[in-house]
Amino acid sequence: MSKVYDDMMNGEIYWPGDEKLMKQQLDCMEKLYDYNATRPHEWEKRQKLLKEMLAEVGEDCYIEPPLHANWGGHHLHLGKQVYANYNLTAVDDGEIFIGDYTMIGPNVTLATPNHPLAPELREKGYQYNLPIRIGKNVWLGAGVIVVPGVTIGDNTVIGAGSVVTRDIPAGVLAFGVPCRVQRELGERDWEFYHKGRRVPQELLKYRRPGKETQA
Cα 73–chain centre separation: 11
Task: Evaluate if residue 156 carries a pLDDT over 80.
Answer: yes
pLDDT at 187: 86
Give the pLDDT confidence of 47-104 residue by residue, as tens digits: 999 999 999 999 999 999 999 999 999 999 999 999 999 999 999 999 999 999 999 9
SS3 89: strand
Is 214 domain-assigned? Answer: no
Section 32-50 average pLDDT: 96
Task: Evaluate if residue 193 carries a pLDDT over 50.
Answer: yes
Is 134 domain-assigned? Answer: yes
Is 145 domain-assigned? Answer: yes
Distance CA 196, CA 118 (A): 52
pLDDT at 112: 98
Is 212 domain-assigned? Answer: no
What CATH code is carried by the domain that includes residue 59?
A: 2.160.10.10
Is 179 domain-assigned? Answer: yes
* Residue type (1 letter), 129: N
Active site residue 75: no
Is 163 domain-assigned? Answer: yes
Task: Evaluate if residue 213 carries a pLDDT over 50.
Answer: no
Is 15 domain-assigned? Answer: yes
Distance CA 154, CA 19 (A): 39
Give the pLDDT confidence of 8-30 residue by residue, as tens digits: 999 999 999 999 999 999 999 99
Q: Kind of pairing, strands 132-134 and 128-129?
A: unpaired
pLDDT at 198: 94
In this structure, what DSSP letter does residue 85 have?
-
Task: Evaluate if residue 214 carries a pLDDT over 60.
Answer: no
Task: Evaluate if residue 215 carries a pLDDT over 70.
Answer: no
Average pLDDT of the chain is 95
Q: Which of 41, 68, 77, 115 is catalytic?
A: 115
Total count of domains within the chain? 1
Give the pLDDT confidence of 101-147 residue by residue, as tens digits: 999 999 999 999 999 999 999 999 999 999 999 999 999 999 999 99
Gyration radius of the chain's alpha carbons: 19
Is 213 domain-assigned? Answer: no
pLDDT at 210: 60
Task: Evaluate if residue 212 carries a pLDDT over 90.
Answer: no
Is 155 exposed, middle or buried (CB count within 10 Å of its CB: 0-12, 13-18, 19+)? buried
Please answer whether residues 158 and 138 qualify as being in contact, where contact means their C-beta atoms are separated by less than 8 angstroms.
Answer: yes
Domain that holds residue 64: 3-206
